[in-house]
Amino acid sequence: MSKKTLAILISSLTGVSAVGAVSGVVGSRVMNRNIDKEFERERLQYIDKIIRENNISQDSFKPGPNGLFRVVHTIQYSKYIKDEQGNPIECTQLGYSLLSDKHIALHRMPETVKKVPQNLPKFISALILTFFHNKNETIEGIEHWNTRNITKMTAMFWRAHNFNQDISNWDTRNVRHINGMFYGAKSFNQPIGNWNTSNVVTMSNLFANATSFNQDISNWNVSNVRSYKDFNVNAHPEFIGNKLPKFPKQKQE
């Protein structure tokens, strides 16, 4: 997949219009509605501090080509332990950056990483492409992550072919975008029917080409979902009918 194709893909998967991202409108309105006011105040203060201390221009928060959100400032770099072949296998320090939509996103991990810190930094709200093409069945540490403040899990395990870890305990109450989260994750088949999806608006390609997934997620609350195109295309042949959420009847965006 070319970088251009991937950029267009992620732009379409975010589920947020470029217009809404200007000056952090999306970052503030969405999170104000879902996350407690005290945390939102702390989050915005933290971002303002980053902007002020690094003399970041407000022009940096305009959307890029195709509405794609850009990295504005790297707050912390990732650190890794490598194996004898030089492949990163353990992340000892999570890296993350401020994006042009005023979300803070965890850096994408090398595909060989199989262990990460157990604590997810408080102000991270986006886990976009985090374990893209990861080669491992499990990634030690993520089962302990507090994901309550996460709003974007777009393409998080995109084509992580071997991944099949129990993440059923993740707190997804504030997640809005899970497009392509398990796209091509052909080994994944964990019981996530208890996830709180009441605030999710985009689910397109969520289980596309996830050929093993065959769990009952019929109880998912999808009342706010606006897009679910190709939700389970080329998925497990029995992952149909009564196992699927009851999506709204209105026309998709």
Cβ pair 129, 158 in contact under 8 A: yes
Euclidean distance between CA atoms 192 and 198, whole angstroms: 14
Euclidean distance between CA atoms 176 and 16, whole angstroms: 10
Rounded to 10 degrees, the C-alpha dihedral 179/181/184/189 comes to: -130
Euclidean distance between CA atoms 69 and 13, whole angstroms: 12
In one-letter notation, the amino acid at residue 139 is I
Lowest mean pLDDT among 12-21, 55-64, 147-156, 235-244: 12-21
CB atoms within 10 A of CB 90: 17
Domain ranges of the chain: 1-253
In one-letter notation, the amino acid at residue 127 is L
Q: Residue 245 CA to chain centroid, in angstroms? A: 20
Q: Render pLDDT for 94-151 as a digit per residue (tens, 0 to 9).
A: 999 999 999 999 999 999 999 999 999 999 999 999 999 999 999 999 999 999 999 9
Q: Render pLDDT for 160-209 as a digit per residue (tens, 0 to 9).
A: 999 999 999 999 999 999 999 999 999 999 999 999 999 999 999 999 99
Cβ pair 72, 97 in contact under 8 A: yes
Euclidean distance between CA atoms 161 and 184, whole angstroms: 6
